[in-house]
Amino acid sequence: MEISEDVLCLFSAHVEERGDSYVIEVPDREITVGDIKEGDGYRVAILDTGEATEVPRDQNHSEPTPPVEEGDERTVAIDDIGDQGDGIARVERGYVVIVPDTEKGERVTVEVTDVRRNLAFAEVMDRQDYYE
């Protein structure tokens, strides 16, 4: 999936019913560290994750917990290349995994080395054949 350079933030959220409306909450971090501002108007794109609607949540926060843990091994497709030249893969709920030394379109088995709230870093363990 291509992500436009016009995208100011990207996060996963649930649609919630509130009275006569449905609401998608923007995480606080998108306002405090992102490029969006409270009160401004924005276009919103909604993408189907194709997954179950239940999103695991941290016991102390309303934000979803990362879908990976340090030490996890995953086979991922490199969807894009970031500004620093590292590969970008997406796993459940669009969660971003940064994988150095990879190329767009490559399939690799990685080990997750560092997990943060909104992204993880991983190292290549094995490079997969295109048809595997």
pLDDT tens readout for residues 74-91:
999 999 998 889 999 999
Does 100 or 64 have the greater pLDDT score? Answer: 100
What local confidence, expressed as pLDDT, does residue 86 receive?
Answer: 94
What local confidence, expressed as pLDDT, does residue 117 receive?
Answer: 85
What local confidence, expressed as pLDDT, does residue 121 receive?
Answer: 96
HEC readout, the chain:
CCCCCCCCCCCCCCCEEECCEEECCCCHHHHHCCCCCCCCCCCCCCCCCCCCCCCCECCCCCCECCCCCCCCEEEEECCEECCCCCEEEECHHHCEEEECCCCCCCEEEEEEEEECCCEEEEEEEEECCCCC
pLDDT tens readout for residues 87-117:
999 998 889 999 999 999 999 999 999 999 8
Domains along the chain with CATH numbers: 73-127 (2.40.50.140)
Confidence of residue 61 (pLDDT cuts 50, 70, 90): low
Most confident of 8-12, 26-30, 105-109: 105-109
d(C-alpha 4, C-alpha 109), whole Å: 26
What local confidence, expressed as pLDDT, does residue 71 receive?
Answer: 96
Angle at the Cα of 124 from the Cα atoms of 113 and 114, rounded to 5 degrees: 10
What local confidence, expressed as pLDDT, does residue 55 receive?
Answer: 53
Does 63 or 70 have the greater pLDDT score? Answer: 70
Q: Rounded mean pLDDT of 26-54?
A: 71
pTM of the model: 0.55
Could you tell me the CA-to-CA distances from 119 to 27, 38, 73 in Å, in that order? 15, 24, 15
Angle at the Cα of 97 from the Cα atoms of 31 and 53, rounded to 5 degrees: 70
What local confidence, expressed as pLDDT, does residue 60 receive?
Answer: 54
What local confidence, expressed as pLDDT, does residue 4 receive?
Answer: 65
d(C-alpha 112, C-alpha 70), whole Å: 5
Residues 6+ apart with CB under 8 A from 117: 29, 63, 66
